[in-house]
Amino acid sequence: MKLKNRFFRGAVGENGFTYERIPEEIFKLYDQLSKNEVVNIFTGFTIVSDYNSASNVNQFRIDKDEYIPKYRKLVEMVHKNGANFFMQIGHVGINVIQNPETIYGPSSLPLPNKNKNSKEMTKEDILRIENDFAKGALRAKKAGFDGIEIHGAHFYLVSDFLSPIYNKRTDEYGGNDENRARFLIEIIGKIRKKVGNDFIVGVKLNCEDGDKNGITEEAFF
């Protein structure tokens, strides 16, 4: 992929998926960005599964095939304006705004301001959501995006697994750095099998958790 310049518009949540459609103001936003020399654009956080965990915030979603044509129109406009377009995909994990019945996490821990614990994900939960990431990435490719970015930061689900603050598991998905990274590595592997080698797959990570008990730059870099 060729980069016309080094101006990137990072993923910023637009809360712009209203009644399962992309409203006109979102088209206007990306039209303006792509016409003004911002030629490498990332969508806001796009949910791959368990959309009800982020209810009432109108976040982008890519958990159904029926959304592919909606995004294709948006991609075609951005490409026509000469910009590259990437979709950021993720699962909210414990980082929920609302208070849904089930809050998925690597371990069952009390959550601030929620008056409940996160649900420790079973192996079946893990495999399901890994597959949801892969299917979401394939939908993004079918919609015409140039690549995807997995959101692995800010205590969304992938970050929850990476962080020893929230990952207290004792199985192959917890404990040492390698095990805590297993969820992310498996997601990347499944995505690559779905999309092939001619599609960009990136990951957004925070270098540190901002807590002495969390991940550090040395652990993952």
User: Is 4 part of a structural domain of the chain?
Assistant: no
User: Is 122 part of a structural domain of the chain?
Assistant: yes
User: Is 3 part of a structural domain of the chain?
Assistant: no
Can you tell me whether residue 45 is helix, strand or coil? coil
pLDDT digits (tens, 9 = 90+) for 145-156: 999 999 999 999
- Supply the pLDDT for residue 56: 64
156 is catalytic: yes
Q: Please tell me which residue in 51, 67, 104, 156 is annotated as part of the active site.
A: 156
pLDDT score of 34 more than 80: yes
pTM beyond 0.75: the answer is yes
Distance, in Å, from the CA atom of 27 to the CA atom of 212, rounded to the nearest integer, reads 42
Confidence category of residue 59, pLDDT binned at 50, 70, 90 = confident
User: Is 153 part of a structural domain of the chain?
Assistant: yes
pLDDT score of 218 more than 80: no
> Per-residue pLDDT averaged across 171-198, rounded?
97
CATH number assigned to the domain comprising residue 46: 3.20.20.70
Query: Residue 124 sits in which domain range?
Result: 10-220
Whether 166 contacts 109, CB under 8 Å: yes
User: Is 73 part of a structural domain of the chain?
Assistant: yes
User: Is 120 part of a structural domain of the chain?
Assistant: yes
User: Is 1 part of a structural domain of the chain?
Assistant: no
Domain count along the chain: 1
User: Is 5 part of a structural domain of the chain?
Assistant: no
- Supply the pLDDT for residue 111: 87
Distance, in Å, from the CA atom of 162 to the CA atom of 175, rounded to the nearest integer, reads 10
Q: Backbone dihedral region of 210: left (phi > 0), alpha (psi from -120 to 50 degrees) or beta? A: left
- Supply the pLDDT for residue 3: 87
